[in-house]
Amino acid sequence: MKVEQVSVFLENKQGSLEEVMRILKEANVNIRTLSLADTTDFGILRLIVNDVDTTSRVLRDNGFRVSRTTVVAVEVPDKPGGLHSILAVLARENITAEYLYAFVEKSGENAVIIFRFDDSAAALEVLRNNSFSVLSGDKLVGGQAVWFLEWGRAR
Amino acid sequence: MDIMALNIYGLSEIMGPGVAMECTEGREGMHVFEDHFLVETINPDTGEVLPPGAMGELVFTTLTKEAFPLIRYRTRDISHIITAPCRCGRTHQRMDRVTGRSDDMLIIRGVNVFPSQIEAVLVGIQGLEPHYQLIVDRVGTLDTLEVQVEVSDAFFSNADEVRVLQKIKKRINKDLKDFLGITAKIKLVEPKSLQRFEGKASRVIDKR
Ligand SMILES: [Zn+2]
């Protein structure tokens, strides 16, 4: 199952993240999880939200560059080796991830890893064939983001 | 229609159109009517007369104008003089098209550059908006140029990755260096950061 993510281009300046959050608060958007990839002068904020359409519309209306991308959400047990179990399979099958970030589910038992793949279809097939639990967009909505990590090829 | 369009250069202060004009045979530069006008190019900052062929501000002296002669009249127009013989056989020197105005020319570490030239480089790169701002400053004794530009909505929609944005920054840097010989700091900005300008003058902030 693919999940839609909203990415926002941000200048690396004081208050730009605050502005995005204020706009989303006023639009009553709930953020499931987020990740921020930054360089010295700009950053890309990536959001998993309960309402993708509203999020991209209000941000565009406020003069932001917005992109909607398809990502894949995979559930793993929240214990040592959880992320490695997925990465090992992906490496073996030559599947490349552009970036990933993660959060722990409210129950605390599972972690959800958000992946951006070059080829989502191929990645999904590999994940399913290896019995990983791939989550749908609506399953992601309603919990609470606890932690995230960022791993980008650009670094 | 069987019509050939030719470029004419003129200044209302001198006599309106008819200071220089293209010939139908060559159509590479406008022959200056040297029997009536003396043309020179100068460095707009120092006033120094430049050798033929060098890019600079055009300066005209009228030779035959009687009631209102002009001596070394500074046009503020930047161009260069072509001295090579023309295909048409006329020996009058030619001036190339005016590429800018000396009042908006920037000198960055000794290199003369016009905002319009930077704009032309940016327009040539797919994925950028034609909105930009130039910030010129001096750090120690070194001139610095920052080019602030937006990526287009379509470009960002297809690339929410840091490395893709860094790649376009590198491309801008390379093109500015290759085409204009200048080194600039490129800053990608949010669309609302740049004012929308009608003219060109306000696109430059010179802090020196
Ligand atoms: Zn000619």
Average pLDDT of chain A is 84
What integer pLDDT is reported at residue A139 of this predicted model?
A: 60
Q: Do domains A2-69 and A71-146 have the same CATH topology?
A: yes
- What is the tens place of the pLDDT at every residue in B38-96? 999 999 878 899 998 999 999 999 999 998 899 999 988 899 999 999 999 999 999 99
Q: Pick from B161, B162, B190: which is nearest to A64 by CB?
A: B190
Nearest C-alpha neighbor of B22 from the set B10, B34, B32, B36:
B32
**AA letter at B37:** F
Q: Which residues of A touch B166 (CB under 8 A)?
A: 39, 154
Nearest C-alpha neighbor of B99 from the set B79, B123, B72, B73:
B79
Listed by start position, the domains of chain A span: 2-69, 71-146
Find the chain B residues whose C-beta atoms sit closer than 8 A to any C-beta of A: 150-151, 153, 156-163, 165-166, 187-193
Determine the distance separating the centroid of ligand 1 and the alpha carbon of B113, expressed in angstroms.
29
| Tens place of pLDDT per residue across chain B (208 aa) | 789 999 999 888 888 788 999 999 999 999 999 999 999 999 987 889 999 899 999 999 999 999 889 999 998 889 999 999 999 999 999 999 988 887 777 888 888 888 888 988 999 999 998 889 999 999 988 889 999 999 998 899 887 889 999 999 999 999 999 998 899 999 999 887 887 665 444 688 888 8
Query: Once rounded to an integer, what is the mean pLDDT over residues A30-34?
Result: 90
Q: Give CATH for domain B8-101.
A: 2.30.38
What integer pLDDT is reported at residue B86 of this predicted model?
A: 94
Determine the distance separating the centroid of ligand 1 and the alpha carbon of B117, expressed in angstroms.
27
pLDDT > 90? residue A57:
yes
Query: Once rounded to an integer, what is the mean pLDDT over residues A131-146?
Result: 62
- What is the tens place of the pLDDT at every residue in A68-83? 998 999 988 888 888 8
Query: Once rounded to an integer, what is the mean pLDDT over residues A127-150?
Result: 62
CA atoms within 13 A on the CB side of A9: 31
pLDDT > 50? residue A153:
no
pLDDT > 70? residue A143:
no
Q: Give CATH for domain B106-206.
A: 3.30.300.30
**What is the assigned CATH class of domain A71-146?**
alpha beta
pLDDT > 70? residue A151:
no
pLDDT > 90? residue A20:
yes
Q: Which residues of A touch B153 (CB under 8 A)?
A: 60, 65-66
Question: If you measure CA to CA, which chain A residue comes closest to B192?
Answer: A63
Overall fold of domain A2-69: VC0802-like (3.30.2130)
Q: Pick the residue of B164, B190, B195, B196 with the most A CBs within 10 A to test the interface with A by mutation.
A: B190
Listed by start position, the domains of chain B span: 8-101, 106-206
